Structures are given as structure tokens and as C-alpha cells.
Amino acid sequence: MTLEAVKFAAADNLWSAIFPELLLGGLALLLLALEILLPKRLHAVIPDVAAAGVAGTLIGMLVNLQFTTGAMTFNGLLQHSTGGQLMRVFFLLCALLVFLLARVSLARQPMPRVEFYHIVLVVTATMMLLAQSNNFVMLFVALETLTIGLYILVAYFRTSTASLEAGLKYLVMGALSSGLLLFGIVLLYGVAGSPSLPSHTVEPLNYDELGRFLAGNPHNFLASLGIALVLAGIAFKIGAFPFQIWVPDVYQGAPTPVTAFLAVASKAAGFAVLLGLCGPGGPFASYGWLVTPALTAMAAATILFGNLAALTQSNVKRLIGLSGVSHAGFLLLGVVASSASPHAIGAVYFYLFAYLIASFTVFGVMVHVAGADDSDQQLDHYAGLARRNPFLATVLAVGLGSLAGIPPLAGFMGKFLIFVAAFEAGARWLLAVAAVGVVISIYYYFGWIKAAFFDTWVPPTDPAATPTGTPPGRTVKVTLAVLALLSIGLGFYQGPLGQWLTLR
Amino acid sequence: MSLTFDPLLIAIVAPLALALAIALGLPKRWSVRLAYVAFAVPLLMALHVWYHFSDATQLGGYAFLTQYPTGLQALGISLKLGLNGISMPLFVLAGGVGFAAGLYALQSGAERLKLYLMLLLIMIGGLMGVFASVDIFYFYFFHELALIPTFIMVGIWGGRDRSYAAMKMTIYLTVGAMISLLGLIALYVKSGATSFDLIALRHHLAAHPLGETVQNNIFGLLMFGFGILVSLWPLHTWAPLGYGAAPSSAAMLHAGVLKKFGLYGLIQIAMPLLPAGLTHWAHPLAWLAVAGNVLVVGFITIAQRDLKQMIGYSSVMHMGYAFLGLATGSMLGVGGVVLLMVAHGFSVALLFLLATTVHHRTHTFTMDDMGGLAMKAPVLAAFFVAATFASIGLPGFANFWGELTIFVALWKFSPLITVLALAGVVISAIYGLRSAARIFFGQPATHFNEIAAQYPVKDLTWTEKAPALVLLVALLWVGFWPKSLSTAIDTALQPAAQTAARN
């Protein structure tokens, strides 16, 4: 590559377009520097700096929401769309809430704090890039950075065997999924660059070029194999059947804030990628004959498996993990519908936001009910929560109700919008499966609410075995109340967000 | 959004606003005081719209029409409120039973009273919304809003088997709600009207009716979905169990008002929009109703020993008549259903209320352990006998007009079914009168004597009498002057009946 070519390429780099990501990266480095520079007694301020930085970035994002929309930067590595902007806001919100949970959860563990915030910041920045990637190289690099960060976070409680075991499991499974994904990418690269095929391209990793090639070769075997492998790799990330096997153990072993991060942000990142690839206008759009049945089968199996497996759980972290699998199924239903229904993509985004709000409400309660052993959070520990702490119990009921999709909460609106889109797309049988899934899910979500509210007889246990939990502080209380009210409010009034999502 | 006086919105928002305030930590003293207001406001608004209904300006068959955008206009969803002749009587029913149930809850002295009042307020707000919604999305939405508190109330304040009953109710009703939701979504997508607004749907479907198969399928979904919610045999088993366990105010509201949602949906949505579907399903529906709800459940009701279970079963049985009237598809029959819904709503609520007052005096629901209560509580006995007469359908009470018109319409539909259905009247007379006799007359059982010796029996107190009076007055009012409701019902049914007849 000559100097001229590099200059030409660099002219396309609009660094200001990724300013939020750069800010987060700088902030992450600043935290490490502060740890060295500040005297020990001032270290408590570092999490505040991290939270303030993320909040500032979030506000900046919201002010400049339309700044780069529609532009393609870095030689086609990144594509800035409205959906991408929305996901950036989503991930920033996740990071903020994870910080809040981490404060409560890390306080009980003899662990270094600053690195946790550092890694969460880096991972958030890569997720934001991932949601906007327009090139398989970008996709893979971002996905790997994200996954490596999560390996460390999952095993963060290094004195806990459960956490270490979860980290190892996640590492092995993650490596396998990365391998599948990479193999798929390589196949696509090879076949799309082959000069013997029509409409071959010199830049086969670019989404648009690849899409053009795939449209020109609608039934190429190697290409379809590549697509299937790429889908399998992403299915690992979102925890879709049959690649959900790691979910319960990892969710249980990981520190609760990390479980929340995995359940919400990492899953949403997977869906952002999936929508970019399989949605209308994505590179895989012309392979609908393969992608639609594959995702349909996956969605049906995911919904049923997630819900049925969650039925028998007594550990709430496993339960929320498996119920998260079923949520991935509902979201897949939206992705399937996106090829034929104009409302589907908006529905998926709405669902993701409703899921974010509800999940963090529930996780927020979980970190307070949990004791010193973070992986041991039983349903029985919630018995009588309504009497011990009515605030937490009420907030929990709202969060779980929203996850279950009970009107008038936001989760219901998400499910409803996805159902409408699915019906418009003609996915009747899948819709019937989804309806069955909702009914099953009511059983275990309601069981959890029942444990917290109803006075039922519980087998006498060793009082020392039931953790006493931590009473929520003021910041957490306000945040949880705001989240619960948001769940209720978004159910009644979708306002500008709903208008914007349904009109796009 | 204009700030004009909108009685419908006020009736919905007032209870919900207080519920939110309680959730945010309103002190108990203020919660109780304001609850009186919040329970009364929906009733006052309902009476206001009833009084002004005939001279209100109507648009597309609806009076008091208002619309509030909520952000999903692109999907054809907005909070559109209005009343037609079918929804107005039910709106009044919801206001009346809501007020009575609220008053009864306030004097009940339940544990965790604040939470109890909050859930009850949510339920009332939802119920007012169900009948005031013109948009079928919100119609469903408000139903679910009212349904959720029931589960929690059964689970926390319920009687025997409450945990099991709450779970069973939840699962059954969620299944019903999901099926009907799918039916409503199917209707929305298939109609091509791109609107959930009932008026727009009606206009659109009048111009482009759906194909017969599509109509049959969607009607089937709605019939079974709503059917579960109304306890259509054999999907009724949640009802007696749930009502048996529910605290009285929840049972009053659920059996009296919320259960009517399914019938209301069939009359307001399925019948006019899917006339061919109704014709296709009329006979299966009628046979299920007469053989299952009326006869089988009727005999089961006779066999009940537990007062509350008996009322629960009897309410399942009376829903059979409503389904029969619906199956006729004629203006007379369906008008009878609307009247019966109102009448049954008031009478079953009154019965549940009185059952609890009886329990306070006898400390049991088993009828064999009672007897002779009339001597010690003559007013209670009078109320109970009146409620029983109403529920049997004696002239002078509202139920009479509903059942009579249904039977007349049914004769034209199928004489055989009419004869079978008439047997149900005898059945309900048997269990109704027998229960009144067992509880209030004859020799007191030894168990009751022991109880009475321990806790001296008092007659109805005024705090118990007030809500009962509200319900009884409503029953008698409609019984003696059915025209006050039926004129509106007739006008509303005219276009619906015409579309049904055309096919």
C-alpha cells in the first residue's frame, strides 16, 4: 500500500463519529491512572468518576443523536444508522446501571475495584462499535474484545469457585463460538472473493459488497455454509437454542452485576449484529430461504427450551438466565419477522429497552437480597420479602411482571409489538409457540412474586443459611423506583419513543 | 390534548392515580380517606353519563368520544374513549359494583389494608377502562390491568387453598387472554384497516368483509379465548375454585364485572365484525352452553355444600344463558345478554358480599353447619333471600328481563335447546332456595349453636348494609324500569343485528 493509498484511506476517517467510544476508552485509562496517582483514601472516588464519565457521554450522545446518522466512516468499517445510535444509548445505560449494581455487590467482596470499572468501560465501548460495524473484520475484532473482557468479568470473584468455574466454562464455550464464527467468515470471504463466480468482489468482508455477491449467487453451497456458521457463532452470544448450554452455569457463577451485563448488554449486542446481518438491507437478506427457516426453528426451540428449563429452577440466577434464553427466543421472533413486516425492527428495539429496564430492576433487587456467597441465591430467600422490605418486593413485582409481559407494563408492549409484527410476517405457528411460552413463563415469574408476597409455609431452614441481604441505599432506591416507574410509564404511554420506533 | 371535562377519563384515572399515590407511600390515614373519594368518583361519572346518554352527541354510534395519542398512532393505536348503548350499561355496572366492593373493603379491616386498597383501585380503574375503550387494544389492555390484581389478592388474602387457586386462575386466565390476544391481532392484520379503533374497523369491514374461513378461524380464537375468561364449559374449573378462595371484594368485582369482559368482547367485537363466524359457531356454542354450563354445572351446583363454591358454580351456570343468548345472534337475544350481564353482575356481587357477612356470623361456609340465622339476623336474611330471588330470575329483579328475552329469542333459534335451558331455571330454583332455607331457616345445626354461644350474632351493621343496598337498589331499579337501559341497548344493536342478518 502506497503512502497515497493510506492518505486516501485516512481521509475517510471521521474520528468525531466515534467520539463517544473514544471518550469511554480515555475514561478507562484515566481510571487506571487515578488508581496510581490518588492516595488510597481517595480511591472511593474512582467509581464516581467512572459513573460521571459515562453519564456525561450519555448526555452528549442524547444531545447529538442525529450527528452522524447515515454516514459511513473508516472506509466502510462503520455504518452510523439510527438503530446504531439507539444501541449506543442502550449500552451506555447498561454500563451506568452495572456500575450501580457493582457498588453494592463488590462492597461485599475482598476484590480490587477499579479494574472492574475499567473493563466494563472497555467492553461497553466495543459493544457500541459492534452495533455499528459494517465489516466482518470490525465485527470480529469488536466481538473478541467484548468476549475477552467478559471472560475476566465472569471470573472476577476469584476466591469463589463458582465464579472461576463459570469463567472457564464461558472461556471454552466462547472460544468454540468464536471459532465457528471465524470459520463462517473465512468461508464467506473465500467464496465471495473467488474470481470464478459472478459478481465476485475484491472486498468480500464489507457488508454491502458481500450482500451484492450473495444476491448474485442465491444458492451457493459454500456461502450458505458460511452463513450458517456465522449464525451459529452469534447464537452462542445471544444464548439461543441449541447454543444456550453455557447460560445457566455462567449466569449463576458470575458476579450478579456481570450476570446483568451478560443478560442485557451482551445479548443486545448479539441482536444488533443479527439485525444488521439478517434484517432488510443486510448482507444475508437474499439468503432468506436459509436464514428465515433456520431462525424460525431456533426461535421456537429457544422459547420452549428457555421457559421449560426455567420452570424447575430454584436458584434465581439460573432462573433469570434461562428466562433470558426465552427472551432471546421472543427477540428472534422479531428478527424473523423483520424480513416481511415494517414494524418488526422497531418492535425489537422497543423489546430490548423494556427488557433492559425490567432486567435491571430485578437484578437491582437481587444484589440486595443476596448474601456473601453471590452464586447462592435461592427462591426461598425471597420468602417474606414483602414484609421485610416492601419497597424491594414491590419493585421486584414490577420488574418480573414486565419480564413476564403483563399489561400495563413495558414488557407487554414489547411482546405485543413483536406479536403484531410476527403476524404481519405470517409466522403463525411461531406465534402460537410464543403464546404457549408466555403462559409457561407466567408460572415461574408468578412463582417468584408468590415467594416474595404470599405468606406460605417454608420448610424450616438453618437461619444462618438465609442471607440477611443489604438494605438499599438512597441512590439505589431512587434508581430502582425510577426504573419501576419507567416500566409502568412506558406501558401506558410510549410517547415519542414509540412513535419514532413504529414510524421507522 | 384538550382539557375539557371527560367523565370517562376521570373515571379511569381517579382510582389509578390514588393507587399510584399509595404505591409511592401515601400514609394509611390519607389512603383510607381518599379511597372513599376514589371509589365514588367512577360511580358518579357512570351515573352522569347514564343520565346524559340519550342527549349526548354521538359519533359513529359512540357518545362522549375522546381520543388521546399515546405514541403508537402508526400502528393505529390510541387511547380512544367513548360509550355506546352496549358499553354504557356495563360502565354503570362497573361503577356500581366497584363502589360497593370498595365500601365493603374499607370496612373489612383486612390485613395490609393499604396494599388491598391499592390493588382494588387498580382493578376498578381497569374495569372502567375496559368498557370505556373504543380501541380494542386498550380494551384488552385494561382487562389485563384489572385481572392481575385479582391473582395477587387471591394469593394474599384468599381463604382455603389460596396458593393453588391463585396459580390455577392465573394459568387459565392467561391462556384465555393469550388466545384472545392472538384473535384480536389476527383481526387487526387480516382486516387491513391498520387500526385497532373499533369504529374504523367496523367501517372498513362493512365495506370489505373478510372471507368466510378467515372469519370462522378468528371467531373460533375469540370464542375460546374469551370463553375461558367467561368460564365456558369445560374450561370453567378455575371459576368456582378461584371465587371460593378470593377475598369478597375481589370476588365481587371479578365475578360481577370483570368476567363480563369476554361476553362484552364477543358482543361488541366478534359479533358485528365476524357475522359469518358467529353463524358458523352458533350451534356448537349453544350446545356447549346448554349441556355444559346450564345442565352439568347446574347439577354440580346443587351438590355443593360450601356456600361460596355454590355461588361460584351458579355464576358459571348463569354464564350459560348469556352464551345461549349470544348464539341466537338476534337483536332480542343479544339485548337480553347485555341486560343479563348487568343483572347478574349486581346479583352475584351481592351474593358474594352476603356470603362473607354470613361467614362473619357463622364462622363457616359449610351450609350444613348453619341454620336458623334469620331469627338472629332478620335483615341479613331479607337481603339474602332477595338476592337469591334475583339470581333465580324472579320478576321484579333485573335478571328476569335478561333471562326472559333470551328464552324468547332462543325459541326461534332452537326449541329443543330452549326446553333444556328452561330446565336450568328449575335447577337454579332448587339450589337457590335450598341454600336460603339451610342458612336462615329451620333448626340451627349444633356447630352453629356452639359458634353463636361463643360469638353473639349481630344483624347487618350499617357499614355492611350500605354496599348491599347499592347493589339491591340497582337490581330493583333495572327490574322495575328496564327501559332505562334497554333503549340504549336497542339502538346500539340495530346496526350490529343488521350485519348479522345480512349474511
The answer to whether B226 and B176 have CB atoms below 8 angstroms apart is yes
How far A355 CA sits from the closest chain B CA (Å)? 19
* Residue A339 is assigned to a structural domain of this protein: yes
pLDDT at A451: 82
Q: In degrees rounded to 5, what are phi and psi of residue B439?
A: -80, -45
* Residue B2 is assigned to a structural domain of this protein: no
Q: What does the DSSP 8-state code read for residue A16?
A: G
Q: How many CB pairs under 8 A join A and B?
A: 91
pLDDT tens figures, A391-441: 888 899 899 999 988 888 888 888 988 998 888 888 888 888 998 899 889
* Residue A89 is assigned to a structural domain of this protein: yes
Among A274-278, A430-434, B32-36, the minimum mean pLDDT is found in: B32-36
Among A304-308, B194-198, B459-463, the minimum mean pLDDT is found in: B459-463
* Residue A3 is assigned to a structural domain of this protein: no
In this predicted model, which residue has the larger pLDDT, B280 or B486?
Answer: B280
Q: Helix, strand, or coil here: A160?
A: coil
pTM for the structure as a whole? 0.89
Q: In degrees rounded to 5, what are phi and psi of residue B195?
A: -155, 145
Pick from B71, B145, B175: CB nearest A497? B71
Q: With CA atoms as reference, report the closest residue to A12 among A77, A66, A70.
A: A77
Contact A503 B188 (CB under 8 A): no
The residues near A239 (Cβ < 8 Å, ≥ 6 apart) are: A246, A247, A267, A321, A324, A325, A328
Interface test with A, best of B12, B31, B178 (most A CBs within 10 A): B178
How far A338 CA sits from the closest chain B CA (Å)? 16
pLDDT at B502: 42
Q: How many CB atoms lie within 10 A of CB A178?
A: 18
Tell me how far CA of residue B470 lies from CA of A241, B43, B89, B387, B463, in angstroms: 57, 11, 16, 12, 12
* Residue A250 is assigned to a structural domain of this protein: yes
Pick from A439, A443, A446: CB nearest B178? A439
Q: Minimal Cα distance from B73: which residue of A?
A: A499
Domain carrying residue B208? 7-498
* Distance, C-alpha A415 to centroid of its chain: 17
Tell me how far CA of residue A199 lies from CA of A135, A203, A213, A278, in angstroms: 18, 12, 5, 20
Q: Given CB atoms, is B238 within the 8 Å cutoff of chain A?
A: no
Residues 131-170 of B with CB under 8 A from A: 137, 140-141, 144-145, 148, 151-152, 155-156, 162-163, 166-167, 170
B492 pLDDT above the threshold of 80: no
Q: With CA atoms as reference, report the closest residue to B399 among B479, B285, B499.
A: B479
State the pLDDT confidence band at A77, using cuts at 50, 70 and 90.
Answer: confident
To the nearest 10 degrees (0 to 180), the angle between helices A474-492 and A344-369 is 150
pLDDT at B497: 44
* Residue B428 is assigned to a structural domain of this protein: yes
How far B460 CA sits from the closest chain A CA (Å)? 31
Domain carrying residue A462? 14-503
pLDDT at B77: 82
How far B483 CA sits from the closest chain A CA (Å)? 37
* Residue B114 is assigned to a structural domain of this protein: yes
Q: Given CB atoms, is B47 within the 8 Å cutoff of chain A?
A: no
Q: How far apart are CA A225 and CA B213, in angstroms?
A: 41
A495 pLDDT above the threshold of 80: no
Residues of A in contact with B175 (CB under 8 A): 439
Q: How far apart are CA B82 and CA B67, in angstroms?
A: 9
Q: How far apart are CA B353 and CA A170, in angstroms?
A: 58
pLDDT at B171: 85
Q: What does the DSSP 8-state code read for residue B182?
A: H
Interface test with A, best of B75, B133, B157, B184 (most A CBs within 10 A): B75
The answer to whether A240 and A328 have CB atoms below 8 angstroms apart is yes
Kindly report the length of chain B.
503
Q: With CA atoms as reference, report the closest residue to B348 among B107, B100, B124, B148.
A: B100
Q: Helix, strand, or coil here: B301?
A: helix
Interface test with A, best of B72, B79, B114, B148 (most A CBs within 10 A): B72
* Residue A491 is assigned to a structural domain of this protein: yes
Specify burial of residue B481 (Cβ count, 10 A radius: 0-12, 13-18, 19+): exposed
* Residue A2 is assigned to a structural domain of this protein: no
Q: What does the DSSP 8-state code read for residue A246?
A: T
B503 pLDDT above the threshold of 50: no
Average pLDDT for B271-285: 85
Q: How far apart are CA A166 and CA A255, in angstroms?
A: 10
Contact B182 A503 (CB under 8 A): no
pLDDT at A456: 61
The answer to whether B187 and B172 have CB atoms below 8 angstroms apart is no
Residues of B in contact with A458 (CB under 8 A): none
Pick from B170, B175, B188: CB nearest A446? B170
Average pLDDT for A42-64: 87
Q: Minimal Cα distance from A447: which residue of B?
A: B167
Contact A498 B70 (CB under 8 A): yes
Q: How far apart are CA B43 and CA B85, in angstroms?
A: 17
pLDDT tens figures, B255-277: 888 888 888 988 888 888 888 88
B359 pLDDT above the threshold of 90: no
In percent, the amount of chain B with pLDDT more than 70 equals: 98
The residues near A386 (Cβ < 8 Å, ≥ 6 apart) are: A393, A394, A452, A453
In this predicted model, which residue has the larger pLDDT, A251 or B158?
Answer: A251
DSSP A295-352: HHHHHHHHHHHHHHHHHT--BHHHHHHHHHHHHHHHHHHHHHHTTT-TTHHHHHHHHH
Contact B182 A432 (CB under 8 A): yes
Number of compact structural domains in chain A: 1
Q: What does the DSSP 8-state code read for residue B267?
A: I
Q: What is the mean pLDDT of chain A?
A: 86
The answer to whether A245 and A310 have CB atoms below 8 angstroms apart is no
In this predicted model, which residue has the larger pLDDT, A141 or B482?
Answer: A141
A111 pLDDT above the threshold of 80: no
Number of compact structural domains in chain B: 1
* Residue A142 is assigned to a structural domain of this protein: yes
pLDDT at A36: 87
The residues near B298 (Cβ < 8 Å, ≥ 6 apart) are: B317, B423, B424, B427, B428, B431
pLDDT tens figures, A151-210: 999 988 888 888 888 889 999 988 999 999 999 999 999 888 888 888 888 888 888 888
A358 pLDDT above the threshold of 90: yes
pLDDT at B66: 84
Q: How far apart are CA A405 and CA A416, in angstroms?
A: 9
pLDDT at A313: 86
pLDDT at A9: 67
Q: How far apart are CA B219 and CA B278, in angstroms?
A: 7
Q: In degrees rounded to 5, what are phi and psi of residue B441?
A: -120, 180
pLDDT at A141: 92
B338 pLDDT above the threshold of 80: yes
A459 pLDDT above the threshold of 70: no
Q: How many CB atoms lie within 10 A of CB A50?
A: 27
Q: Which residues pair with B66 in a beta bridge?
A: B81
* Residue A164 is assigned to a structural domain of this protein: yes
B1 pLDDT above the threshold of 70: no
Average pLDDT for A288-317: 89
In percent, the amount of chain A with pLDDT more than 90 equals: 24
Q: Please identify which residue in the block is written with the cell numbers 357463622.
A: B362
State the pLDDT confidence band at A457, using cuts at 50, 70 and 90.
Answer: low
The answer to whether A172 and A163 have CB atoms below 8 angstroms apart is no
